[in-house]
Structure 1
Amino acid sequence: MIKKLCIGLLFAVMTSVALAQDSFIVSDVRVKGLQRISAGSIFNYLPIKVGDQFDPTMSADLIRELYKTGFFKNIELNTDGTAIIVEVIEYPSIATIEFAGNKLIKEEALREALSNNDFIEGRVFQPNVLEQVKQELKRQYLNQGKYNAQVGTEVTDLPRNRVKVKLHVKEGPTAKIQNINIIGNKYFSDEMLLDEFELSDSVPFWKFWGKEDQYSKEKVSGDLESLRSFYQDQGFLDFQITSNQVSISPQKDGIFLTINVEEGERYTVSQFVLNGRLVVPEDELLPYVFIAPGRTYSRKDVDNTVEVISDRLAEEGYSYAQVVPVPDIDREARTVAFSINIKPGRRVYVRRIDIIGNDLTNDSVIRREMRQTEGGAFSPSRVNRSKIRLQRLSFFDEVEIETNPVAGRDDQVDLQVIVKERPTGSFLFGLGYSGDNGALVQASISQANLFGTGNQLNFNVQRSSFVEAVTLQYTNPYYTKSGISRTIGLSGRSIDSAAANTSEYITETLGLNVRYLFPINENNSFSLGAGLERIDLETTVFTVSNIREFIDENPENDLITLSTAFVHDTRDSLLYPTAGNEFRVSLDATAPGSDLEYYRVNVDASTYFPFTQRAALKLAADIGYGDGYGDTDELPFFKNYFAGGSRTVRGYEARSLGPRDDSVNQDPLGGSKRVLLNASLLLPVGGDSLDKRLQLFVDAGQVYGPEESFDSSEIRVTAGVGFNWISPVGPLSISYSIPLNEEEGDEIEKFQFSVGQLIQ
């Protein structure tokens, strides 16, 4: 570029000598050689125009100004009488930029580096800028420990004065950390300090995939900050990192890192006081203070104190409160006192709540779930709880709540609730299959958000190899304004257990029930239900003797059913939870005076530990116990618990675990006690939606008869992988599992799948 500029200036000087010595008034300015750049753009850069006085000595300045544009690789200036002729040769434009060989740094990041140097497709190609781009890419690779990285360029001419630029990258190996040396530490050993580092100079052989020994400038910065935090959390208020040096081996494949530190002295807290306008009583704030006289100073404790006090003030509407810890250091006594200054500012209120995206759902259905109200003091926890309640409705694929300050007001905000609705109604007629129930034909009409009111209506008819059922259920989740829910259900069911891999009998049931759900608070509720049920029992030619005797004594049974349950539920979603827990204890029984008197108690619990935004670990347990009372000696056989199959212990055939009858085939009989355990790693599959999840699971469980006691050695354990998907034809679940402690006689079914039911 400089060489060409010098040549241009020399040409201008020669031209000025050759031109007439007298100046003249410019009558015209013409530009020749333009291909992409308009003449108007050139005129904007020229410091002379028609009507100006032109002196031949001005040629060098004119050419210099045009070269500054960066558009041209050659410029000549001539005169034709009183007209100025500018002849140019343009630089080509960049048609395409391609990359080859880059693996560590993705193409998007490389293009961003090029963009920062104004080297992008469509812009003028300048060789000197390309050289700058090469150096920038090398710098990025150096920051990632690629000291042998090479960047080559290939420029190909294209028609219409364009070029194709291809950048060839040879990344080479990442330099490995050979040694990390910390100098100046007295209180803590090198090993203890290096445990705080992400980088390491020794990676165990079994962690062959690890990258802890691969140098990165960003990792070094992070590790130095971790070291600083460690010391300050241990009381070393004056700790400093005086220097750090990075040395490279001659082969550029090894890194030697030296860190020089000054530890200083350890400080303790002498006292603290709360100052400022205490809008929350001091005795309520004191439990949030993690620093106390006599304790070793810790920056983490100070930061936590600021955070929790700020959160507490935000709950009172002071969302922009300032909590500033001011230290008073006594270096002789090696103590530090804190004055925690609180400036709550103005209380913030919610002016308006706008709802967007609810084409079907009524505004009132969404607003009744909001725990943050219009006109109320703004509370982050109430906003977050509102979001969780909306997610738990299962009406929406996505729920977001945005907080927008009101222009010109520092004490008001608007909330914008943005929902993306999912289909909540369906008419389904088709075939399904479950490993537990076999093939089935079903027709159903389901609306979880009836006419946008939030009410639920379900009508289902199904027929499988052993069951025929009709159910009608209607739920009003806000039967009262206080949130009491009412569900009314009518059902009819006929079961021929001969096709269900269990002891053979036939039941026909007709029932009517009503259930009320009473919220206690945000996370707790209890329910009460009652109903009438008629159960007719029949034998088959293969019914075993003890069941036959029971049926002969109780062929027709009129029952008054009662139910109650207590539920503690903090899950963030009902369909696809990733955080929170659920605890449920329930009792189902018949009222005294019913033809059969029995009860069943169930306790089940599950908890979710999120380890990314969308993945979680689930732990769950389910324990059930049933028995008869009054004139009924034990739990009726048709109310027995079963285990095995896709919804209990995968890897075993449906209902195959536990006691068996004394028939020739020794069919499963079920039992009055059941234990189920589960641990699952829940991983979303594809995209941001949670409608597909992969499970890595361990199931365990067993069923025990009335005369049997719990025996942990009898529990069967399986491990496997599963896949759940809410498909267009309904929930689909697939699993493959392997029994870990099977015994002779166990019925194994490693591959299981079902359509129409979601296996969490």
Structure 2
Amino acid sequence: MSGILIGILLLLAASGAVAQGSVLPVSSRGPEIRSVEVVGAGEVEPGVISRVLATRASRCRSPLLLPACALGIDASVERGYLDEAALRADEERLRALHLSYGYPAARVNAEVTRLPRGGVAVRFISWPGEPLIVRSVVVRGLEELPNGIDLPSLPLVPGDRFGLAPLETAQRIIAGRLAAEGYAFAQVGVSGPLPEEGGPYDLVLEVRTGPLAVFGSTTIHAELPLTASDVREYLAYESGQRFSPAALERTVERLYRVPIVERVQVQPSPSDDGDNQVHTDIVVTTSEPRGLQLEGAVSSSACVAGVTGWTDRYFLDQPQTVSLSVGASNLFVEPLRRFPCAGAGKDDFAKPDFFVRADLTRSLGPDTWMNIGGGFSRESSPRAYIQSGVIGRISVVHELRRGVDITVAYSPEYRDNPTAAPLFCGIYGICTAESLSGFVSGNRLAPVEFAMAFGPPRARRIDPGTPLMAEWTYPPLPEWTYSGRVSVLGAARPTLSDFDFARLIVEGTFTRYPGRLFQLAGRARGGVLLGSGPLPPQVRLFGGGPFGVRGLEPNLLGPRILTVSPSRVEQLGCAPVSRGCDEVVADPAFVQSRPTGGTSLLEASIEGRMWAASYLQIAIFNDLGILHISERDDAPARISAAKAILTPGAGVLALTPLGPFRIDLAYNPSPRHRYPLFSRDEETGDQVHLGDVVFDPFNVGSPSALQKMRRRLQLQLSMRQPF
């Protein structure tokens, strides 16, 4: 049985090499193939068939060249020619493919028809025959184990159609379960040959466990400047310890955390030192130890961004990293305001951000890493806040167990927050220039953070260098993946902070894989903010944007205020005095929305995804957002306490040579609102509440129904999946 399986897999794998082989000499070419059709394939997926066949019709080399192909430009067409040997081989490949799907008596015949205008049409006709149906599944050989073993559910159960893929998966599941118990040499085979005809089939899996294995010697091949002793510090096992695949995967995970490591190969094999010992070869290749880096990104919230820097990944002859970096974002906002920078904001929020930073990252143990960094920056969050000044951070990350990290961090900063004055006035009633000066300039914020993140283990699978270990090193893909993070951030006088607060944020994601092409994904994020006295906007909770509620621009979830420059107050048709603009309809061209942020937040998203092509994924989604703000009696305006919104939409993920690009289009159902309007008194510098105005950006200027609909559609761009 194992010989049949290996032969089929080799036959199918060879088809890729034939399909992409060299072009036949002109003298040996057959007629050009105009079309290839497969009839009667039954359960076999068309995409699988197209990858297996070497016989292919002439086609356009790229969708980008379709106009050239339509004009008949020869260089744009990849031509296929008839090859009788390849045709006969394709018949065998299709027969083997039907066998792998559980049709042992399948017959395939290729027909070639010459066309009146030249060339030929190729037609493969399949007769699958009766399938093999699993009548029973028996696993023999486990009863001899001293403590027995519990097997998980196998992908072949009575009533299923037999297939080589689920059979191979079942063998790997059993071998992987045995390897986890220390039986590294276990073999799982099939008793007897496959039937030559379809019908009921009693599947018997024979298990030979072999002896309990232990780790033997380890040979390390480390590319310079890394040394074997550097690598040995990250081993998760010792010689003589009972063999465990989890220990090998933990070793791989640890090594991939070392910044200079580029690739890790772990190859376990039988040892010459004893019948039950496993020898391990570890090959570690490194990236360039030193060099300049240049990265760029584009998104709705940060517009165009770029970072460059110098990095030494083997600083002072140790596997630790020193980096010096300079970056800028919010670039080219004005010329790109319509797309992709629609969420960047106006006035000061449209100016470039920048940072200069230095960092040191080093290991404190195989599972613990420390980072110390600091620099100077101007940072903005669209419409919410702008802060500039000196920043610092020291953090320690410890992997508590596989897939679970704990972080402790201290992040002192000394910054100005010049655009926060309207928010302090609207939320806390601090409106005079004198009282505001202590909140918008020279602020010390020094929070301590405790965080825990969890998710699937990050190890890249162990390289099956020998047939011995190939059975358990590649378990089937999971049906679910998940991740989560819990963060508690707090500051007070003892941390050298000017503000006292505590903030809790909990977020999690999941992805369900019901099939090879489909995904169901979800995300939830919630937070609570507690504090005494006025708090700066950067610690408040915000939502909306390409990674939140996508029907809203970044940060615009929930209550907000409006601001207008003193020079534009009269353009609104009102007076620049307290309550001088009550009930005026505010033109969005003259005012700016400023989100207040909240003291409690909930965002939730559900999304269905489908791969339309190998480089293109389409999605439909629905996002929910709820943000609440605690009301204060001393505030000059009544800000709505809570806002909730539901925004449906659709998106596309495109995989390009420049990286992945995700574009989302969502519907914003927001009704018209009354918001407090603020401006600055040019003589005193005080913030003035001009009254509550009507804000309805979707109906300004008597738009048509189509224009209203277009205004409610929010376009978001990012260079990764939303979650």
Q: Give the TM interval when normalised to the shorter protein.
A: 0.5 to 0.7
- In the alignment, what sits opposite 2:404? 524
- In the alignment, what sits opposite 1:753? 717
Deviation at 1:401? 3.4
Letter in 2 for 1:472: R
Q: Which has the larger radius of gyration?
A: 1
Q: Does 1:672 align with 2:599?
A: yes
- In the alignment, what sits opposite 2:548? 648
Letter in 2 for 1:704: L
- In the alignment, what sits opposite 1:207? none
- In the alignment, what sits opposite 1:736? 664
Give % identity.
Answer: 17
Deviation at 1:365? 5.4
Greater alpha carbon shift after TM alignment, 548-557 vs 650-659 = 548-557
Letter in 1 for 2:650: A
Relative to structure 1, the CA distance from residue 298 to residue 577 in structure 2 (aligned partners, 3 Å threshold; closer, same or farther) is closer
- In the alignment, what sits opposite 1:151? 111
Relative to structure 1, the CA distance from residue 609 to residue 132 in structure 2 (aligned partners, 3 Å threshold; closer, same or farther) is closer
Q: What's the secondary structure of 2:522's corresponding residue?
A: strand
Relative to structure 1, the CA distance from residue 676 to residue 141 in structure 2 (aligned partners, 3 Å threshold; closer, same or farther) is closer
Relative to structure 1, the CA distance from residue 364 to residue 694 in structure 2 (aligned partners, 3 Å threshold; closer, same or farther) is farther
Q: What's the secondary structure of 2:596's corresponding residue?
A: coil
- In the alignment, what sits opposite 2:454? 568
Q: Does 1:722 align with 2:653?
A: yes
Deviation at 1:108? 6.2
- 1:513–1:530 Cα contact (<8 Å) kept: yes
Deviation at 1:395? 6.3
Q: Does 1:583 align with 2:583?
A: no
Q: What's the secondary structure of 2:37's corresponding residue?
A: coil
- In the alignment, what sits opposite 2:375? 491
Letter in 1 for 2:522: L
Deviation at 1:436? 0.7
Relative to structure 1, the CA distance from residue 625 to residue 603 in structure 2 (aligned partners, 3 Å threshold; closer, same or farther) is same
Deviation at 1:392? 6.2
Deviation at 1:458? 3.8
Cα distance in 2, alignment partners of residues 351 and 516 from structure 1: 34
Cα distance in 2, alignment partners of residues 431 and 658 from structure 1: 31
Cα distance in 2, alignment partners of residues 369 and 470 from structure 1: 34
Give TM-score scaled by structure 2 length: 0.56
Deviation at 1:642? 2.4
Relative to structure 1, the CA distance from residue 348 to residue 496 in structure 2 (aligned partners, 3 Å threshold; closer, same or farther) is closer
- 2:559–2:642 Cα contact (<8 Å) kept: no
Of 358, 361, 367, which residue of structure 2 is paired with 1:476?
361
- In the alignment, what sits opposite 2:245? 380
Cα distance in 1, alignment partners of residues 420 and 170 from structure 2: 72
- In the alignment, what sits opposite 1:405? 270
**1:375-524 matched pairs, under 5 angstroms:** 375-390=240-255, 399-406=264-271, 410-417=275-282, 427-428=292-293, 433-440=298-305, 442-446=307-311, 453-463=318-328, 464=330, 465-466=350-351, 468-479=353-364, 481=365, 483-495=367-379, 500-502=382-384, 507-524=387-404
Q: What's the secondary structure of 1:566's corresponding residue?
A: strand
Deviation at 1:98? 6.3
- In the alignment, what sits opposite 2:585? none
Deviation at 1:601? 0.9
Relative to structure 1, the CA distance from residue 455 to residue 111 in structure 2 (aligned partners, 3 Å threshold; closer, same or farther) is same
- 1:474–1:489 Cα contact (<8 Å) kept: yes
- In the alignment, what sits opposite 2:557? 657
Structure with more contact order per residue of length (Cα contacts < 8 Å, sep ≥ 6): 2
Relative to structure 1, the CA distance from residue 713 to residue 562 in structure 2 (aligned partners, 3 Å threshold; closer, same or farther) is closer
Q: What's the secondary structure of 1:513's corresponding residue?
A: strand
Deviation at 1:486? 1.3
- In the alignment, what sits opposite 1:216? 128
Letter in 1 for 2:598: G
Deviation at 1:573? 6.6
Relative to structure 1, the CA distance from residue 697 to residue 392 in structure 2 (aligned partners, 3 Å threshold; closer, same or farther) is farther
- 2:185–2:209 Cα contact (<8 Å) kept: yes
Cα distance in 2, alignment partners of residues 538 and 368 from structure 1: 49
- Cα-to-partner distance string for 1:198-249 (whole Å, 9 max, x where unaligned): xxxxxxxxxxxxxxxxx623xx32xx324x24xx69xxx9xxxxxxxxxxxx
Of 704, 723, 737, which residue of structure 1 is paired with 2:627?
704
Aligned pair count reads 518
- Cα-to-partner distance string for 1:355-406 (whole Å, 9 max, x where unaligned): 5684665545554444355554332333344445555668677655333334
Deviation at 1:418? 5.2
Letter in 1 for 2:621: V
Relative to structure 1, the CA distance from residue 403 to residue 683 in structure 2 (aligned partners, 3 Å threshold; closer, same or farther) is farther
**1:199-348 matched pairs, under 5 angstroms:** 216-217=128-129, 220-221=130-131, 224-226=132-134, 228-229=135-136, 276=144, 278=146, 282=147, 285=148, 313-321=178-186, 345-348=210-213
Letter in 2 for 1:351: G
Cα root mean square deviation, aligned: 5.6
Deviation at 1:702? 2.6
**Is there any run of 5+ residues in structure 1 with no aligned partner, and where?**
1-93, 113-120, 155-165, 175-214, 238-271, 327-339
**Is there any run of 5+ residues in structure 2 with no aligned partner, and where?**
1-26, 39-48, 57-80, 163-167, 192-204, 331-349, 461-476, 565-590, 632-639, 673-695, 698-710
- In the alignment, what sits opposite 2:21? none
Cα distance in 2, alignment partners of residues 661 and 472 from structure 1: 34
Letter in 2 for 1:151: E
Q: What's the secondary structure of 2:507's corresponding residue?
A: strand
Cα distance in 2, alignment partners of residues 673 and 131 from structure 1: 66
- Cα-to-partner distance string for 1:516-537 (whole Å, 9 max, x where unaligned): 2233222333222224332334
Relative to structure 1, the CA distance from residue 369 to residue 385 in structure 2 (aligned partners, 3 Å threshold; closer, same or farther) is same
- Cα-to-partner distance string for 1:569-590 (whole Å, 9 max, x where unaligned): 324379x999643221111111
- Cα-to-partner distance string for 1:282-319 (whole Å, 9 max, x where unaligned): 3xx4766999xxxx99999xx99999886565334332
- In the alignment, what sits opposite 1:115? none
Deviation at 1:353? 3.8
Relative to structure 1, the CA distance from residue 374 to residue 616 in structure 2 (aligned partners, 3 Å threshold; closer, same or farther) is farther
